[in-house]
Amino acid sequence: MFSTLFSLFEQSGISTEMIRMAEKVTSGERISIEEGILLYREGSLPYLAVLAEHVRHKINGKQVFFNRNIHLEPTNICINHCAFCSYRRKKGEEGCWEFGIDELVKMAADRQLSGITEIHIVGGVHPDRDVHFYADLLTGIKKILPHVQIKAFTAVEIDAMCRFASVTIKEGLGLLKNAGLVSMPGGGAEIFDEELRAKICPDKTGSAAWLDIHRTAHQLGIATNSTMLYGLLEDYTHRIDHLNRLRTLQDETGGFNAFIPLKFKHYNNRFSHIEESTTVEDLKNYAVSRIFLDNIPHLKAYWPMIGKQVAQLSLAFGVDDLDGTIDDTTRIYSMAGSEEQSPTASTEQLAEMIHGAGLVPVERDTLYNVIRRAEVN
């Protein structure tokens, strides 16, 4: 099969370097930083799709995963000043919210009949809430929903809540784990390049600290996800540098479950003058990420951000996870002008999206244990 493909590549005028890279990927060799940059610059969509699909199939076969989840967003009051954020509000500002523990527990309880298996909790960095507040929140949720797995708090939130309580990251994560935390999302990574980070999120947890918090979580047996914000000020060298830092940490710990590229949305923030990336660029980014991150098992397309149609297209570019049902419980991307203003999807819809791409729908839990292989009508 691949000899035929390489012959077609040659006939279509693809460079010798790109053919050699295809041979490396299909033989299971790791590509270098320089080759990753070349993939971005010269890789056509058909070429990238072939290689990304090879990597995806090698790791996950024809399986594409999803889960039944909801989001809880305790507050959008935040001490940080990220220039790309459409979500943040100051205390007392119109559009701000800060739910108490009892309110948040009730929100979770109200969804218990929907069959959810995961509660995803993220929000702003509230100046008056420390790690003890959030441990009490997790304890309250687990009392009423003991079977539900909790994925919660970005490294940026963890950093702040531990500082506010004067405890170490390891101590704070230990408290949260004992209260029911099984996994962390990958938010707050943005772009690791320090000069770019100083321009887009100057007071947010730094790149080295973000990686170290995830390293500590992995050492404590807490699985995490990873992300990259793209389509803002970065170029391809910045993206590959970011991916390489993730790949290096994964070599060390093996603790990342998934990687999620997060598309910059320009509505209602200080970078509104920047055009958003095209669908072609989105698909290229998925494919290169899948090829380069050979040691992170899952690549997720977050459909509330890019819309269901592009998410389904991404399944041909290395993606093997579509997140979950959401049930209209997140405002982070809808406030930034995302494609899905009221994000909700049934398990049947997600299964049909996957099956329509010729793949096998698999319902999972937070840690990617298989719950069932979905039936499609």
Backbone CA torsion sign across 356, 362, 363, 366: negative
Q: What is the pLDDT of residue 113?
A: 62
**Which CATH number goes with the domain that contains 237?**
3.20.20.70
Nearest to 340 by CA among 310, 370, 303: 303
Beta bridge partners of 324: 67
Residue 40 lies in a domain: no
Residue 343 lies in a domain: yes
Name the band, by pLDDT with cuts 50, 70 and 90, for residue 373.
confident
For residues 51-69, average pLDDT: 96
For residues 86-100, average pLDDT: 82
pLDDT in tens, 1-46: 555 555 556 546 688 889 999 999 999 999 999 999 999 999 999 9
Number of domains in the chain: 1
Average pLDDT, the chain: 90
Exposed, middle or buried: residue 253 (CB in 10 Å: 0-12, 13-18, 19+)?
Answer: middle
Q: What is the pLDDT of residue 341?
A: 47
Q: Let me know: does 228 contact 267? Beta carbons within 8 Å.
A: no
How many other C-beta atoms are found inside a 10 Å radius of the C-beta of residue 89? Answer: 18
Range of the domain at 138: 59-373
Q: What is the pLDDT of residue 339?
A: 55
Buried b vs exposed e over 303-332: b needs ≥16 C-beta within 10 Å? Answer: bbbbbbebbbbbbbbbbbbbbbbbbbbbbb
pLDDT in tens, 266-297: 766 777 788 889 999 999 999 999 999 999 99
Q: What is the pLDDT of residue 329?
A: 57
* DSSP per-residue letters across 113-145: GGT--EEEE-----TT--HHHHHHHHHHHHHH-
pLDDT in tens, 169-227: 999 999 999 999 999 999 999 999 999 999 999 999 999 999 999 999 999 999 999 99
Q: What is the rounded distance in angstroms from the CA atom of residue 193 to the CA atom of residue 292?
A: 18
Model pTM above 0.75: yes
- Token pair for 213: 């918090």
Phi-psi group of 323: left, alpha or beta (phi > 0 → left; psi -120 to 50 → alpha; rest → beta): left
Q: What is the pLDDT of residue 298?
A: 98
- Token pair for 370: 């298989």
Q: What is the pLDDT of residue 333?
A: 46
Report the percentage of the chain scoring pLDDT > 70. Answer: 90
Name the band, by pLDDT with cuts 50, 70 and 90, for residue 304.
confident
Residue 23 lies in a domain: no
* DSSP per-residue letters across 223-281: EEEEEEEESSS--HHHHHHHHHHHHHHHHHH--EEEEEEEE---TTSTTTTSPPPPHHH
Q: What is the pLDDT of residue 338?
A: 47
Residue 26 lies in a domain: no
Residue 28 lies in a domain: no
Rg (CA), the chain: 20
Q: What is the pLDDT of residue 340?
A: 46
Q: What is the pLDDT of residue 324?
A: 87
For residues 63-68, average pLDDT: 96
Residue type, 286: Y
Residue 48 lies in a domain: no
Residue 330 lies in a domain: yes
Name the band, by pLDDT with cuts 50, 70 and 90, for residue 111.
confident
Examine the pLDDT at 81 and tell me if it is beyond 90. Answer: no
Q: What is the pLDDT of residue 241?
A: 98
pLDDT in tens, 219-263: 999 999 999 999 999 999 999 999 999 999 999 999 999 999 999
pLDDT in tens, 323-364: 988 876 555 544 544 454 456 788 899 999 999 999 999 999
Residue 21 lies in a domain: no
